[in-house]
Amino acid sequence: MRHLVIMSDIEMGAGGLTDDFPYSQWLGARLLAYADQAGEDELFVVFNGDTFDFLKTAVNGEYPTRITAQVALAKLAQVQAAHPHFFRAVKAILEDTRGPRRVAFLLGNHDMELAFAKVQREIRDAVGPAEFPGFSLDVGDLHIEHGQQADGMFTVDPEEVFVLHDGEPVLSLPWGAVALLDVALPLQHRLHELDRIKPRNKVLEIVPEVKDLLVNAYWNYWTRDWWSDYWNGADPNKRISWTMIRDVTYRLGTLDTDLSVGDVHKQLVRQAFGPKVCIIGHLHQPALWTWLDRRVLYTGCLRDEFVMDPDGGVSRRMPKSWAVVRMDGDKVLAADLVEDEGPPVREGQVFAHVRDVLPRIRDLICTPEELAAMNLGEQDQRTREAVAVAAGEPLPGPRSRRGPDSPHSS
């Protein structure tokens, strides 16, 4: 009998208040309990992407977009130092002789650095013979993948995970990751608690100052800074695609921060020779979808996420969730979601009220007048109009309207 435990979006960081998962001792105990339950049966633990939050791990106080093997190793060292209990538990599982034991790490959009052979070697030195299958893993009629490959913001060509820059391989990052590294992550020391609160669109309604801050930062980036790096060739990850332009236009116009993987995996299990069960992470929202005798499980996440009350208060944490699968050889017998309240919340993980963020960002907020007065140089009229909309100003002539998120929009 095979027992599989599939965990997505743990997002262990570099420690400190910005770490979204400061509970590796609790996680280690849960993993060892699964080894005890498996006994002489096979146990296969699959860490399905975003196990480590390398994306939000700074190196020398910065968030480089040109990620070499040395940069990746510097990030890994910080995560290892912050989460020794996790690495010890994985090592104990792989050393367990009661039955077959396997551990695999799949790539996610937060831990693309796992693609480096040197990073894989360092992890194996710490835990034992871990496997690194890449973006997906098939075990009999079970298919597992993180899910970012179906998300236009984070899709990566699996044949071109690296790009040469100055003669050295660097990660070929998706545009969504590059934008986060350039714009959002330098702000995380002020906004990290807010990033853990859902629903995000309601957070921005109650704290419009944060919306102003993000709109200003991203408009400056997409209309000026990104193009400067693109034209001078300073960053190999600044590349143009029509998909990127379309998605950037949509997300700037709506400030929609939700992740999406569409119906790709539902279509996968509908195929005549498709998998019986497909397990996906990335969305941070546990769910089950069925078609005949087939199913798609969305595993949710283990990182800290909290639910905002209608008035902006924050008093509830989302359960931590993952998938467990029981197989007879290559045949899935059962696949289920597990929810756990998790350990006690660490002090400082979340605000009591979302507006508690305001003292930290007052000095960063641009007023609508400052947005409207930005010097755009030779930018075209459409960019000028977009900035006016972001500032909540009416446009001249018959096309006048309020910004789509302004207080007076319908």
- Residue 251 pLDDT grade (very low, low, confident, very high; cuts 50, 70, 90): low
- Residue 236 included in any domain: no
**Is the residue at 197 inside a domain?**
no
Judge if 294 and 389 occupy the same domain.
Answer: no
Predicted pLDDT at 166: 87
pLDDT at 273: 83
Q: Which domain holds residue 156?
A: 2-188+274-347
In a domain? residue 405: no
Alpha-carbon distances, residue 68 vs 50, 80, 125, 169 (angstroms):
19, 18, 20, 6
75 and 126 share one domain: yes
156-205 pLDDT per residue, tens: 999 999 999 888 999 999 988 998 999 999 999 999 999 999 998 899 99
For position 21, which CATH number holds?
A: 3.60.21.10
Of residues 391 and 343, more confidently modeled: 343
Whether residue 128 lies inside any domain: the answer is yes
Query: Which tops the pLDDT comparison, 232 or 246?
Result: 232
Q: How confident is the model at residue 385 (pLDDT cuts 50, 70, 90)?
A: very low
Tens digit of pLDDT for each residue in 269-301?
888 788 999 999 999 999 999 999 999 999 999
Segment 194-242, tens digit of pLDDT: 999 999 889 999 999 998 898 888 888 888 887 788 787 778 887 777 6
Query: In this model, does residue 137 exceed pLDDT 90?
Result: yes
Looking at the structure, do residues 40 and 123 belong to the same domain, yes or no? yes
Please, are residues 73 and 64 in contact by the beta-carbon 8 Å criterion?
no
Is residue 315 situated within a structural domain?
yes
pTM of the predicted model, to two decimals? Answer: 0.85
Same domain? 54 vs 132? yes
Q: How far apart are CA 410 and CA 406, in angstroms?
A: 9
Query: Is residue 300 in some structural domain?
Result: yes
Answer yes or no: is 14 within a domain: yes
Q: What is the pLDDT of residue 369?
A: 62
Give percent of the chain with pLDDT exceeding 70: 84
- Give the chain's mean pLDDT: 86
Pair (52, 132) in one structural domain: yes
Q: Are residues 386 and 324 in the same domain?
A: no
The fraction of the chain above a pLDDT of 90, given in percent, is 67
- pLDDT > 50? residue 97: yes
Whether residues 342 and 291 share a domain: the answer is: yes
Regarding whether 173 and 134 lie in a shared domain, the answer is: yes
Do 395 and 279 lie in a common domain? no
At residue 372 the predicted structure's pLDDT band, cuts being 50, 70 and 90, is low
Report how many domains make up the chain.
2
